[in-house]
Amino acid sequence: MSSSPPEAGALPAVTSAAVAQAPLWQAAPLTLVLLGFFVFPLLATAVVSFWDYTEYALIPDFTFRNYHEMFQGCADFSAGGCTTLRTYLSTFRLCVMVWAITLVLGVAVAYFLAFCVRSDMLRMTLFLLCTAPFLTSNIIRMVSWVPLLGREGAINRGLMQIGLVAEPLEWLLFSEFAVVLAFVHLYTLFVTVPVFNSMLRIDPRLLEAARDAGAGFWRTLWHVVLPLAKPGMVIGSIFVIVLVMGDFVTVGVMGGQQIASVGKIIQVQMSYLQFPAAAAQAMVLLGLVLLLIIALTRIVDIRREL
Amino acid sequence: MLTSTTSSAVVLGNTLLSPQAKEPQRRGIIELSGVTKRFGDSAAVDRLDLRIAAGTYCCLLGPSGCGKTTTLRLLAGHETPTAGDILLDDQSIIGLPPARRGTAMMFQSYALFPHLNVLDNVAFSLRMRGIGKAERHSRARDMLSLVEMEAYLTRLPIQLSGGQQQRVALARALVTDPSALLLDEPLSALDPFLRGKVRSELKRLHRELGISFVHVTHSQDEALALADLIVLMRAGRIEQQGEPEALFDRPRTAFVARFMGGHNIVRRAGRAIAVRADRTRLGYAGLAANIVGIEYTGTGFSIALKDAEGEEYSVLQPEITGLAPGQAAHLVWDRADERLLDAA
């Protein structure tokens, strides 16, 4: 990618103008891919979000109808707020729970791998083992919870057999619990990997220096390890927040189509061919998630890590 | 370091230090008796007995893998001995955590906390002891002025040079007022010019504090320059210990003579003797050898020789008139300069 001109006389046939353009040509393929598959769809969504629609037609227009309908009644708290607001609150609730649990689990696993495992060989083996579930699709990983958690599932049968419960527990499946469980299962690795990467860069002598200074395990963790692992924690948090905020499959399957989420609204609107409404929802969601990411990156400079 | 600070006295823990104080109270008697440390089947430290008097600058010297760093870590409490006892000022410190031993360690490459500034790095151990912000910062400041780093309080370690980082690490180790300062290869990360400067600062600090320093190094120059007591280790045991002059002038074994350098080892009638290279001369009758190289050392010349069996020797002379590589020569020395070596 270097743009420094070749030595004089090294390439006599190449003019200086062509040399100056070379970096542009080198960057062109990726630029085209990003334009075609990222910028254009995003712009199209933004444009469509201002269109009008009927039951059977999309009408190119410039109207705020979709945004207006989305926030209709949102100022009226006596009726419990609007659907949009309640859905966002429910999604945030899920997101915060999943984020907190994956962060604790991810940091614990990463800490174990980075500092408790002494041999590099074993460390990498265990790390690859962590990624093994990703060899199956996430739908299969999700669905495989059903025989375990269902009314007639293994856990309920076991609990009834040992007499702990008289009737099957209803909240195990198709509940918020099940959704959070599935999210944690799916996304903990997205926290573990960047945190592990951050922790591997911590000189183990710093832990000894902390011990020498009289810090026990928890204070070493709090005062030395976590501050130094912060970039990894922020990157992992961004993964989890983005994935959970936009999800509709896990919420649908594990929540038994009973739990509201923003992704679910968009999916439903799409299925009724209300593309402009869905596009407007998507734009608002995008804006909110971007704000969250900006807030997180204000806390920690993650460019240092990349 | 201290004499050039503007303040006339620096409070170090409860010891009042001033440039005028000639004799600080000496502390830090270290005793190791029968200390063994095994890693699996191999003994890194093997039945080590060592007594270091109060206020001694002790250098643990030896090649890599000789157990010197393990010994230091056993003293610091970062390793637990398999057997034996360790005493500091007549108290057994086995089983005590590092912070309650009265030792402080300065790590190789310093291990400063990269996310904390200089002041917070030095105050860290006081913070862990639950000392309030105002007091720990004032004590950390005193320490930093002792090492002449008071102008860099808010810098992060990455914004400091190697020599400055070293001073901060030293202040961090000394802030808890230890009886023994443990230094793990403290000079190895510095360039040679700085090394000499820091060496004299370490020595001065040692004089002013009156505590024991235990300094691990693989450089015999460093040990000779700094130590009151050199402990030369080999394969987990002490090969020879003593004052620098004694160790250099009267090596007990061929290993010591070779490691300390500057000696020729001559085998004669089944025994080996060592003769210092600067006491060996070239003459007309004596040990026959060929000159293989001549190096100018500034103060004179170092002549490398090899005999018929391939043994190598060196001779230090002020003049080399008429000598050239390839010539045959004879090594001579005074009988009084011979040191009979143990068979080991």
pLDDT tens figures, B12-71: 444 445 444 556 788 999 999 999 999 988 899 999 999 999 999 999 999 998 999 999
- Facing residues of B283 across strands? B330
* Tens digits of residue pLDDT in B208-225: 999 999 999 999 999 999
Q: What is the mean pLDDT of residues A115-130?
A: 91
Per-residue pLDDT band at B77 (split at 50, 70, 90): very high
For chain A, the domains span 79-304
pTM of the predicted structure, to 2 decimals: 0.79
Residues of B with Cβ-Cβ distance to A228 under 8 angstroms: 114-115
User: Which tokens in the block code for residue B92?
Assistant: 């057994």
Contact A205 B111 (CB under 8 A): yes
Q: Give yes or no for residue A80 having a pLDDT over 80.
A: no
Backbone angles phi, psi at B36, to 5 degrees: -125, 135
Q: What is the mean pLDDT of residues B130-151?
A: 93
Higher pLDDT, A77 or B195: B195
pLDDT reported for residue A79: 65
Smallest Cβ–Cβ distance between A206 and the set B97, B100, B113 belongs to B113
Q: Give yes or no for residue B167 having a pLDDT over 60.
A: yes
Q: How many whole angstroms separate alpha carbon A280 and alpha carbon A51?
A: 9
Per-residue pLDDT band at A43 (split at 50, 70, 90): very high
Higher pLDDT, A12 or A203: A203
Instruction: Give the 3-state secondary structure percentages of chain B, helix then strand then coil, rounded to 5.
Output: 30, 30, 40
pLDDT reported for residue A14: 63
Contact A205 B107 (CB under 8 A): yes
Where on the phi/psi map is residue B97: left (φ > 0), alpha (ψ -120 to 50), or beta? beta
Q: In what order do the strands lie in the sheet with B42-52?
A: B42-52, B30-39, B83-88, B91-92
- When scoring B80, B125, B177 by the number of chain A Cβ atoms within 10 A, the one with the most, hence best to mutate, is B125
Higher pLDDT, A305 or A224: A224
pLDDT reported for residue B22: 58
Contact B97 A219 (CB under 8 A): no
Tell me the pLDDT of chain A averaged across its residues: 87
Q: What is the mean pLDDT of residues B69-80?
A: 94
Q: Give yes or no for residue B9 having a pLDDT over 70.
A: no
- Facing residues of B312 across strands? B306
Q: Which residue of B has its CA nearest to A229?
A: B115
Side-chain-side CA neighbours of B275 within 13 Å: the count stands at: 22
* Tens digits of residue pLDDT in A229-280: 999 999 999 999 999 998 888 888 888 888 888 999 999 999 988 999 999 9
Own/partner long-range contacts of B315-319 (Cβ < 8 Å, ≥24 apart) = B315/B264, B315/B277, B315/B280, B315/B281, B315/B282, B316/B277, B316/B278, B316/B280, B317/B281, B317/B282
Per-residue pLDDT band at A144 (split at 50, 70, 90): confident
Q: Give yes or no for residue A228 having a pLDDT over 70.
A: yes
Per-residue pLDDT band at A306 (split at 50, 70, 90): low
Per-residue pLDDT band at B93 (split at 50, 70, 90): very high
Are B320 and B297 within 8 A, CB to CB?
Answer: no
Per-residue pLDDT band at B344 (split at 50, 70, 90): low
Query: A79-304, what's its fold?
Result: MetI-like fold (1.10.3720)
Per-residue pLDDT band at A13 (split at 50, 70, 90): low
Smallest Cβ–Cβ distance between A208 and the set B104, B107, B112 belongs to B107
Residues of B with Cβ-Cβ distance to A209 under 8 angstroms: 105, 107, 111-113
In the DSSP assignment, the letter for residue A104 is H
Closest CA relative to residue B220, chosen from B248, B251, B241: B248
Contact B78 A208 (CB under 8 A): yes
B64 to chain A, closest Cα gap in Å: 19
Chain B interface residues (partner A, CB cutoff 8 A): 76, 78, 97-100, 104-105, 107-109, 111-115, 124-125, 128-129, 172, 176
Q: What is the mean pLDDT of residues B161-182?
A: 93
B72 to chain A, closest Cα gap in Å: 13
Contact B97 A211 (CB under 8 A): yes
Residues of A with Cβ-Cβ distance to B76 under 8 angstroms: 212
Tell me the pLDDT of chain B averaged across its residues: 89
A301 to chain B, closest Cα gap in Å: 13
Tell me whether strands B271-276 and B281-283 are parallel, antiparallel or unpaired.
unpaired
Contact B97 A203 (CB under 8 A): no
- Tell the burial category of B297 from Cβ atoms under 10 Å away from its Cβ (0-12, 13-18, 19+): exposed
pLDDT reported for residue A184: 93
How many CB contacts within 8 angstroms connect chain A with chain B?
53
pLDDT reported for residue A301: 73
pLDDT reported for residue A72: 81
Distance of CA B119 to the CA centre of its chain: 28
For chain B, what percent of residues have pLDDT higher than 70?
Answer: 93
Residues of B with Cβ-Cβ distance to A213 under 8 angstroms: 99, 124-125, 128, 172, 176
Backbone angles phi, psi at B183, to 5 degrees: -115, 120
Q: Give yes or no for residue B343 having a pLDDT over 80.
A: no
Are B146 and B6 within 8 A, CB to CB?
Answer: no
B102 to chain A, closest Cα gap in Å: 10
* Tens digits of residue pLDDT in B252-289: 999 999 999 889 998 877 788 999 998 998 888 888 89
Q: Which residue of B has its CA nearest to A226?
A: B115
Q: What is the mean pLDDT of residues A177-184?
A: 92
Q: Give yes or no for residue B6 having a pLDDT over 90.
A: no
Contact B98 A212 (CB under 8 A): yes
pLDDT reported for residue A3: 46
